[in-house]
Structures are given as structure tokens and as C-alpha cells.
Structure 1
């Protein structure tokens, strides 16, 4: 990690911070989940850095990026503008959770601009109405307020208790990110998730954990995604839930490497 660079790229109404591994390989853009930051990808980036130029974005309202704007916000547009601003040509794009949903929307809107797509357990969930969304956003704001009252040491201790399957290296960035997140960062999806997949033309991996262990992508959702778009393949990682890579990193990494054409 010592040779990684950091910077910021301008986007409409603000900027996104990022960390970059550099190197001669193809560009790989990583978009994290809700309340995380770009460095929450560190373990995966360390494993893939010999083969790729990896860019770990801090999403709007997270990490060192600009805070959430008033009104509507399109995280897929942020990804688009960041990729353009960094001068990346047809990168591989990858995301986890809400970052995966944004990644899918970006690849769907710009199918000719991506080489491959990897989606880690995106929230492909039924739509909710505005009232339900506001209740959920209110609970999220309370959660962020709770984070703000804790130290990083306390957060790491909480993370260890809640997530005993995680590697110790996952906790520092996870805890730091909880103190950086904007309380208004909870997304609202006006369109059904199916609308973010149908136009993707690049090879796409939908990788997810077991719904019985907290994974959001059920077997039925995985089947529906494949039926919507023949470019999509799915992989179920056993022994993991929503935080798929953190809960079964070896099997997750093997599936990602196989999809990217790397030896295991």
C-alpha cells in the first residue's frame, strides 16, 4: 500500500476522493457499499494490484469526498464523471452493495465504456414508496449519529463482535469510514433494479452470499438477473452473506480471478 497514490477528481457539484495502486494493467474501478470508503477494498486491491491499475473511489457522502447535495443525486453519474476525469478507457467496473447498484446503473447507461462488470451482492430489492424511504433514511441518520459518538477503537470492537468471520485487516478502514459518512447518504431508488441491467453488454459477474446468512441476492433474484441479460453469470459464495468478500475471502477471490481470466 505504501506506493499507492491518493487524489481527488472533480464531479458535478463537488469531488470524489480516490486511492490508486497504479501499474501497467487494465484499469479496475471499485465502488464501495454504504458507510464504507474506498480503502475498505484494501485486501482485494492488494491481491489484484499486480495485474491491474486499481482505483478505489470514495462515494459522495463517504470518506474524503464531497458531502451529499440537496435534492436528487445520481451515484452512477459520479462514477461516469470520475472515470472521464481520470482519463480511463473502458475500465473494468466493480461494486459492493449500493456501490454495485450504482456500478450496474453506470454500465447499463454506458455499455460501450466498460470492459467487464462485477457486482457484489447489490440491493436488488422491491421498490418502496417515499414514506417508507423516509422512515428508512431516518433510521440511517440515527445510526450515523451513533457512529459519531464512538471512537475508532470502540467501532473496531463492535465490528469484531458483530462480524467474527472478517479478517483483522478489514476492520481499520471499516471503522474509520463510519466516522466519515454523511447522515444523508441513504439512497432512494425510484426505478426498479431490473432497469439497471437490461442494456449491459459487457461480461458481468453477479457474485453474492447466501440469503440465509444475510445476502440480499436470493437464488430467485440471481435467476431473474440472468434471464434479463445473457451477459450475466452468477456465483454463490458459500459461508458468506451480504459482505461476501469479507466473510469468505478465499472463495470470493477465486471466483473474481476466474472471471477476470487470472490464475487462481
Structure 2
């Protein structure tokens, strides 16, 4: 699949094509578009599923400059422009949800509905922020050593049975590519007070064992969105619930999209 030059980045994306309603899925921090393989296999060809690698991850070639999730949201909109799509469901996991919420705020006429997985409108607590900064600094000094990689894998993926191929990918990731994405994550602003502006239908999924963003924060997100149709706790799931527990995510996701895409 192709790359496209957008906003000074060479964005890698995949598009299932077809005449179905378009659905964009944006991945989480340290992940790439393949984390939505379990959804694409169910949604296509009924829906046209579009995925892309965010700045700093996967096969996207980023300029390495600082950016915010507003920039990431614009990357998403410009990709839709490139594909000739005026309106789409926009969804995302974790940082992909940060992007999706900002897209709905800035381009409300272009976002038909929202799919939000393990995300929030707020910011992380001081302990989490310090941990993220420490992770980046240790990675800089010592490389992707096992204590870091295993901690990250546990937070994002949960049980070790879910860790591959992700930890092998992280071990090969140059720390330079992580600086700008980590700063975007750490320095994002709190948009909780603006969630009431987002009127589109939404569905919120959240792992009940998510230690990266608590279940309570996911529930708060759902409560603050006027158009939220369902809050779906995913039993036993850590952060990447759509990847590790697709059997619980896909049926309500499919029902939501059939009703609102």
C-alpha cells in the first residue's frame, strides 16, 4: 500500500476500498496500523476501513519535528482529502482517540461518528508523566532494555502471550524517532471541558484491567460526550483491548457502525 505526502510527512496508509461507509482507525502510542487487523477482518468489505501509521511509528516517514495531536488530527483529515472522502467515522485507540476527539472538535462536519478505545479527554497524572519521561530518558541512555520493554508490554498488552510481535519491534526502534511522539503524549492539553461540544454519536471501549488509563477515566469520557451511545467495559483487557480481546470489541463495534456510519 502507498505513502502520501501530507503536512510535511510521508504518511503510510492502508485502505480496503469499496463502496461501504468509510471508517478511519488511528493506532495507539508505540503501536502501528496493524493493531487493527482484528477489526479489518470483520468490518471489510461492509465498511471501507482506512488506517495509517502515525508520526514516529510504523512505516510513516516523519520529519522528526515537534507536533501535537491537533497536527495528527490534521494528518487524518488531509488523508481523507487525498482519498476524496468528505465524511467518515473516525476512531482511535489511546493516542488515536486523542486525535479523533480533536478532529471532531475542529472539523465537526467531517466526523460522522466516533469510536474511542482506551482513551480520555484529560491528561495523565504526575506519576504517569514522570514515568513516561523516565522511560524516554532510560531508552536514550541504555537502549530498549528488558525492564522497560516488559513494563510497556504489560501496560499496553497485558499478559505475555500478547507481547509478540510488538516487543521485537520495540527493540529495533531508534530512540530518536520516539522523542517527538513522547513529547506530544506528555504535553497534550486537557480537553475535558470541551467534550460537551462533541455531538456526534460515539461508542467508548475500555479494558477493565487498563493500568495506563483507568476504567474510571474511560467512563468519564463516555459520560461527558453528549452523543455517546454505549460504554463497553472489556473484561480482562489491558490498554489495547481491541487487539487482545477482539471477541468482546468487534460485535458491539459492528452494531454501532451499522447504526451510525
CA distance in 2, matches of 1:246, 1:183: 22
Partner of residue 179, structure 1: 172
Partners of 1:96 and 1:119 within 8 A in 2? yes
Partner of residue 246, structure 2: 249
Distance 1:189 1:95, change over 3 A: same
Match of 1:31 among 21, 26, 33: 26
- The alignment status of 1:229 with 2:222, answered yes or no, reads no
Alpha-carbon deviation of 1:27? 1.2
Alpha-carbon deviation of 1:113? 0.3
CA distance in 1, matches of 2:61, 2:195: 28
Partners of 1:10 and 1:16 within 8 A in 2? yes
Distance 1:95 1:196, change over 3 A: farther
Which segment is superposed worse, 19-28 or 64-73? Answer: 64-73
CA distance in 2, matches of 1:37, 1:238: 24
CA distance in 1, matches of 2:235, 2:173: 31
Partner of residue 205, structure 1: 203
RMSD: 3.2
Q: Provide the aligned length of Structure 1 versus Structure 2.
A: 244
Post-superposition, which runs of at least 4 consecutive aligned residues in structure 1 deviate over 6 A? none
TM-score between the two structures when normalised by the length of structure 1: 0.78
Map 1:118-137 → 2, pairs under 5 A: 118-126=115-123, 136-137=132-133
Partners of 2:123 and 2:188 within 8 A in 1? no
Distance 1:225 1:134, change over 3 A: closer
Partner of residue 6, structure 2: 11
Structure 2 unmatched ranges of 5 or more: none
Partner of residue 213, structure 2: 216
SS at match of 2:200: coil
CA distance in 2, matches of 1:89, 1:141: 41
Alpha-carbon deviation of 1:61? 0.8
SS at match of 1:102: helix
Partner of residue 3, structure 1: none
Alpha-carbon deviation of 1:45? 0.8
CA distance in 2, matches of 1:87, 1:174: 36
Higher relative contact order (CA 8 A, sep 6+): 2
CA offsets 1:29-54 (integer angstroms, 9 cap, x no match): 11000111112211211111121111
Structure 1 unmatched ranges of 5 or more: 1-5
CA distance in 2, matches of 1:83, 1:178: 32
* Structure having the larger proportion of residues in helix: 2
- The alignment status of 1:70 with 2:65, answered yes or no, reads yes
- The alignment status of 1:139 with 2:135, answered yes or no, reads yes
